[in-house]
Amino acid sequence: DSGVTQTPKHLITATGQRVTLRCSPRSGDLSVYWYQQSLDQGLQFLIQYYNGEERAKGNILERFSAQQFPDLHSELNLSSLELGDSALYFCASSPFPRGATDTQYFGPGTRLTVL
């Protein structure tokens, strides 16, 4: 158990819909990262938040957005869903910038299926 929690575990929805994925980082970790894993693209970085502020963006679509709240949990919002958005979505957290290491610890993921 990494200490990172994600809800829900599974999500099935239809094209055009909007969903919200939730992540709670490990206690004390200030940074949250979102990754997407699809069959044809592998594990790809989407976006990073540090202490409530966006810090880095990767291959995140404009239809996707995220935020980190004062209690440090984060939400990834996916809208106007398409079949190709079906994937595993992982959240990771790290103590950056504090601590002697910047190791990222991953949650169990949310499996999104768009029908």
Our CA angle for 43, 62, 15, nearest 5°, is 80
Q: Count the site residues for another protein by CB under 8 A.
A: 30
Exactly one of 21, 24, 76, 109 binds another protein (CB under 8 A); that residue is 109
The closest of 67, 62, 108, 105 to 85, measured between CA atoms, is 62
Binding-site string for another protein from residue 41 to residue 70, where x marks contact by CB under 8 A and - marks none: -xxxx--x-x----xx-x------------
Q: What secondary structure letter does DSSP report for 24?
A: E
Is there a cis peptide before residue 95, judged by omega within 30 degrees of 0?
no
Contact footprint for another protein (CB under 8 A): 2, 4, 31, 33, 35, 42-45, 48, 50, 55-56, 58, 88, 90, 92, 94, 96-97, 101-109, 111
